[in-house]
Structure 1
Amino acid sequence: MVDPQVLKHGAWDVITPEIAGWEFVTFQVKTFGDGETVEFPADGNERAFVNLHGDLVVTVGSDEYRIGGRDTVFDGLGHTLYVPRDTAVSITGTPGAELAIATAPATEQHEVVLVTPDDVGSATRGAGTATRQVSTPMSPDFPADRLHIVEVWTPGGNWSSYPPHKHEHDVDGEAQLEEVYYYRTRDPENGWALQRVYSPERDFDLDVPVRDGDICLIPWGYHTTVAAHDQDLYYLNVLAGPAPKRTLQAAEDPALAPARAKWETLDADPRVPFVPVHP
């Protein structure tokens, strides 16, 4: 398995298990041309489609699902359409529509599920400078095989995915999960954040700036993110792994986990939630 890595916008197209050096997650962001339609075959993979920009029509059998409604990821929560294995899909988008597509091999076939902003809502996590807004359209109790989907918005200057945690081993309190971070910034030209992934046991430490359209692949290691001052950050998390039971259990860095207890004496950042739940 390869080390955690950041791939810059324009340097990646479709993240496959071969590129990532792992087994389960495939990820891409598709931008639609005028009148363009893309198709996915009925195969052994389950898929999740998350709208980033524009409007799309997804055809599954004789059913049509319309997803969209936000100009940017900062204008509202996304729609997520889950499509199980052995199911063909056809998608048409308005010109310039952007769609995140997450794929993982599945052993069980479930039902098609459309998750709307009204269905999922969002929550405020953390406190003080670790406050962020989180929406989880495909949580551990979602009727899928392996895929988990999470959207996170972090106000400029705040920390996210904190305390640093990892999904590395299938043990009590922790699950082995491959994880994608896909970043967007409110200011695409100037916005940035810092991503850290580290592992004391592997003598590994990755500290790198990330910008609009970059992606981070995390097969192991503690990880956390901080948005630059005055630079609001969005990231889409895709997770999947070999665990027989759906879970997002994570092990926090024991050296920094005590920060969570201090949140009880801190107020949440009043800027959160700053993405409207109902567009």
Structure 2
Amino acid sequence: MTGTSPYHLPAGRARTGPYAVDVGPESAGWGHSALRVLELPPGGSHTFGTGDGEWIVLPLNGGCTVAASDEFGHDTFELTGRADVFDAVSDFAYVPRDARTTVSSAGGGRFALAGARCARRLPARYGPASGVPVELRGTGECSRQVNNFGAAGVFECDKLIAVEVITPGGNWSSFPPHKHDEHRPGEESVLEEIYYFEFAAHEGTPGLGYQRVSPSGRGRGTDVLAEVRDGDVVLIPDGWHGPSMAVPGHHMYYLNVMAGPEAERAWLIRDHPDHAWIRDTWPGRPVDPRLPLYGAPAASSPSSAPAASPSAPSSSAPSSQ
């Protein structure tokens, strides 16, 4: 519960070295998902080995250069980044396992490294902001924006799935509560999940929200009711997760990082049976007019255009994230 759960890591608890957040399979006690948040001063750089994991470097604020080297060659990507997570969609870079990677930033900033243990080595690649599908999910007070930069079916990874969710102040997301802790072919997949939170301040006052995870009868019986603030992390090895609640006046951002043992990389969820009916109330109701906060930019040239990703927001309500 609040303040006592080992699955709620308040800002600073998972800090190591240059990382404001450093969560991996060893510290989380699971098998696949990882997240680091790298802080760099102006002119700073950091080098790390990807080891047995694949990683996406995603600017949270600021821009950077990502250089990855391995036995197959060397790749360098310039990431424009953004002012903050409430300002714009960001471009990103994918770096493969068994590579040496350097992130450097002339202006400084914070950069999320979303990772997953994997078996296949895929090539290093650049992900343009114009190629990120911006989706609107839910309606009314359940409206939220999802930036599907690393979603299954959008960007190829071996195991890693990662998306950004923006919930306007006063709204609920990750609702109805859902889970993905059981192997049910075609219906539910097993995925460990990390939530990383940031909030929009109002006239200098920091924001906050609340996150609920309740036991599903499987795994560790994860039980969390946490007040979450900037830089907090919630670990979800199992259980029904949701709602994620943004207090009025403060937009809430969270980065979801997921991976698991399934042969197929897919986000398949089961809604909580007590609350699944809420979906039936969405059709015919308007999406929160505050959304989208922003859309993906138009491609700057044919070479940077996405393979299959609209730049304009889409509106749907099939999912709980």
User: Bigger shift: 84-93 or 238-247?
Assistant: 84-93
Query: What corresponds to 2:207 in structure 1?
Result: 191
2-structure distance, mates of 1:210, 1:194 = 6
SS in 1 for 2:82: coil
Identity of aligned residues (%): 35
- Contact 1:75 1:276 (8 Å CA) reproduced: no
Q: Which residue of 2 aligns with 1:213?
A: 231
- Is residue 146 of structure 1 aligned with residue 164 of structure 2? no
Q: Does 1:260 align with 2:262?
A: no
Trace 1:228-247 onto structure 2 (pairs within 5 A): 228-247=247-266
Q: How does 1:168-207 map to 2 (within 5 A)?
A: 168-172=181-185, 173-187=187-201, 189-201=205-217, 205-207=223-225
Choose which of 137, 145, 165 in structure 1 pairs with 2:149: 137
1:167 aligns with 2:180: yes
RMSD of aligned alpha carbons:
1.8
Once the two structures are overlaid, the 10-residue window that deviates more, 189-198 or 58-67, is 58-67
1:105 and 2:117 are equivalent in the alignment: yes
Once superposed, which parts of structure 1, at least 4 consecutive aligned residues long, lie more than 4 Å away?
Answer: none
**1:223-265 deviation per Cα after TM superposition (whole angstroms, max 9, x unaligned):** 1101001110111000010000100001110110111121113
Whichever residue aligns with residue 177 of structure 1, its letter is L
The answer (yes or no) to whether the contact 2:34–2:257 under 8 Å persists in 1 is: no
Q: Provide the C-alpha distance between the structure 2 equivalents of 1:143 and 1:276, rounded to a whole number of angstroms.
A: 22
Q: Summarize the Cα distance change of 1:200–1:120 in structure 2 as closer, same or farther, 3 Å threshold.
A: closer
Cα distance in 2 between the residues matched to 1:38 and 1:204: 34
Q: Distance in 1 between matches of 2:216 and 2:152?
A: 28
Q: How far is 1:201 from its partner?
A: 2.6
**1:158 is aligned with what amino acid?**
N
Tell me if 1:23 matches 2:36: no
CA displacement, residues 122-155 of structure 1 (integer Å, 9 cap, x when unaligned):
0110001000000111121232111011011110
Encode CA deviations 1:101-120: one digit per residue, 9 max, x unaligned: 12222111112222122001
1:17-50 per-position Cα deviation (integer Å, ceiling 9, x unaligned): 2221211122110110232221122532211111
Aligned to 1:34: 42
Counterpart amino acid of residue 9 in structure 2? L
Taking structure 1 as reference, are residues 63 and 215 closer, same or farther at Cα in structure 2, changes over 3 Å only? same
Contact 2:50 2:96 in 1 (8 A): no
Shift of 1:217: 0.5
Matched, 1:79 2:91: yes
Shift of residue 180, structure 1, vs aligned partner: 0.6
Q: Distance in 1 between matches of 2:283 and 2:42?
A: 51
How far the C-alpha of 1:83 sits from its partner, in A, is 1.2
Query: In structure 2, how many angstroms separate the alpha carbons of the residues matched to 1:251 and 1:200?
Result: 11
Q: Distance in 2 between matches of 1:121 and 1:16?
A: 27
SS of equivalent residue, structure 1 residue 259: helix
* Structure 1 unpaired stretches of 5+: none
1:6 pairs with one of 8, 11, 26 = 8
State the 1:4 CA deviation: 6.6
